[in-house]
Amino acid sequence: MSFPLHRNSSHPISPPMGHHGQVEVLSTMPPITSQSDYTVLELRGANSDILVHCSLRPSQGFIALNARPADPHGWDYSKEIRIPFHEHFAEGENARLTIKDLGDKYLITFGCGQGTYYNKLGSQASQAATSIRYHADQANSVFSDAVFVEAHRQ
């Protein structure tokens, strides 16, 4: 399944992407690292659980990975992983993000980086991703205003 995804919107993934599935997000331009911060891509489950939250924060120098159930209690920051932003995107290349579902964890690759494993929350281990969300709350997103998404069940 392939589709465009515009900034500040969500799109269903159908059929849902579960174990051995992959989502690839492609920007039409290199990442914008100046005048941009807090660009988010999320995979969500059927009951609005956030299965994986990727927050790109170039001005702070990191990418934050996290997850949370749909309850209103907020983030469990002990589950957050931070990785260096500038080690994961090649200068001059269009930005790319790939999320592979490995069953008990995700392998998340940003452009030229080797990838980072993010363990699923226990309550979400068997959930499939039913939608993807792209959000940037300032004038300049790290990615293009519209990105191209490819979702595969393998």
Residue spans per domain, the chain:
2-152
Top-tier CATH class for 2-152: mainly beta
Confirm if 41 and 133 have CB atoms less than 8 A apart. Answer: yes
Q: What is the pLDDT of residue 36?
A: 67
Which pLDDT does position 154 carry in this prediction?
64
pLDDT digits (tens, 9 = 90+) for 126-144: 899 999 999 987 677 888 8
Angstrom distance (rounded) from CA 30 to CA 143: 7
pLDDT tens digit sequence for 38-62: 899 999 998 889 999 999 988 888 9
Reported confidence tier of residue 4, pLDDT bands at 50, 70, 90: very high
Q: What share of the chain is helix, strand, coil (3-state, %, to 5)?
A: 5, 50, 45
Element (H, E) at 115: none
Looking at the chain, how many residues does it have?
A: 154
> Model confidence over 75-91: pLDDT tens digits?
888 899 999 988 887 77
